[in-house]
Amino acid sequence: MTDETILENGKRVIRIEHEALKEVGDRLDRCFVDAVKALFETGGRVIVTGMGKSGVIARKLASTLASTGTPSIYLHAAEGVHGDLGMITRDDVVIALSQSGETEELVKLLPAFQRLGTRLIAVTGQTGSTLAQRADIVLDVSVNDEACPLGLAPTASTTAMLAMGDALAIALLEKRGFNEEDYALLHPGGSLGNKLLLTVNDLMHTGEAIPLVSEETLMREALFEITSKGLGVTGILDESENLIGVITDGDLRRGLERGDNMLEKPVSEFMSSNPKWISRDALAQKALHEMETYSITQLFVFPESPNGRPVGIIHIHDILKAGIA
């Protein structure tokens, strides 16, 4: 087999599967709407089941539904007939996947679904099959040709089944009004979870770690505070302990370059007034945005308004280390 033949075979498979997806998409009708509504309105969970390659697709669909806000579990059809049916209740909805609609293990489950009174959505390539006839809603994923030249290995048919599952999950997601914050709550370990869940309060330095001096403090003492706390800044407090300004290590360098004996002068002569601040309840992502907007590397933190002594300070390095960018 030549390189050109290998390449052409690959293109042929993708072309056949592309055409199969278009056919399935063009056939979507009221049954799809009914399926989405049934899943949305269920008071229980969504049970997704199948065997073989359809079982693999079923497992993926259950995972996608669960990660987008729909309580869902995968039921192995063969295990179902040996006791795992106990996980299903009357309030659940079952999605059964079978290209032929005659899968032995799945067909054996149908009387149990009926006795339980569980609604059944069939995803099948044979709308006249046993599965389709017993189902409340039928989603047609039939294809004209498999990409396998022998017509044996499920290829275009499983691609169509996978796409139908994704279509159900995403249509249901949108009907629920599921948003990024909801997604992050279900994926707290990922970068999106960090962006949408981590707050300033989670990352800020508190207590003795906050660099602060009074307005009468000499610049040489402020230099020690900046160096010892390692955040490149110190806040300046007035006699009522309100934050009135900041001195950064950059301010120090510029002052020393001028050679005006600044180290023996009070910080009030050199501080920048009206320092930037952020609420402790704000998302860390917002703090990063503020720093980038004003070209600074830290923000003092207050509960709600910049009154009194700050409760914390957050540095850009704290945010970047948390995986937020």
| CATH code of the domain containing 117 | 3.40.50.10490
Task: Say whether both 170 and 209 belong to one domain.
Answer: no
Among the candidates 123, 143, 178, a domain finishes at 178
How far is Cα 298 from Cα 44, in angstroms, rounded to an integer? 47
Q: For residue 45, what pLDDT band results from cuts at 50, 70 and 90?
A: very high
Number of domains in the chain: 2
- 95, 49 contact by CB (below 8 A): yes
- Report pLDDT for 323: 81
Domain assignment of residue 52, yes or no: yes
Confirm whether 193 is domain-assigned: no
Do 253 and 292 sit in the same domain of this protein?
Answer: yes
What's the Rg (C-alpha) of the chain?
31
Average pLDDT, integer, range 144-172? 90
Residues 108 and 147 reside in one and the same domain: yes
Same-domain check for residues 78 and 113 = yes
Regarding whether 261 and 130 lie in a shared domain, the answer is no
The verdict on 257 and 154 lying in the same domain is no
314 within a domain of the structure (yes/no): yes
> Which whole number is the average pLDDT over 71-94?
88
Q: Say if 192 falls within a structural domain.
A: no
Query: In terms of domains, do 125 and 231 share one?
Result: no
Q: Does residue 209 share a domain with residue 174?
A: no
Largest CA-CA distance found in the chain, in angstroms, rounded = 93
Asked if 170 and 93 sit in the same domain, the reply is: yes
- Domain of 109 in residue numbering reads as 3-178
Tell me what the mean pLDDT of segment 16-32 comes to.
95
Does residue 185 lie within any of the structural domains? no
The whole-angstrom separation of Cα 117 and Cα 90 is: 5
Same domain, 226 and 83: no
pLDDT > 70: what percent of the chain?
94
In a shared domain, residues 15 and 119: yes
Nearest 5°: the CA angle 97, 109, 125 is: 25
- Ranked by mean pLDDT, which of 29-43, 150-164, 195-209 comes out on top? 29-43
Task: Look up the CATH number of the domain holding residue 283.
Answer: 3.10.580.10
Whether 101 is in a domain gets the answer: yes
Same domain, 74 and 135: yes
Kindly state whether residue 46 falls inside one of the protein's structural domains: yes
- Pairing state of beta strands 312-315 and 298-302? antiparallel
Query: With 60 as the cut, is the pLDDT of residue 187 above it?
Result: no
Q: Please check whether residue 187 lies inside any domain of the structure.
A: no
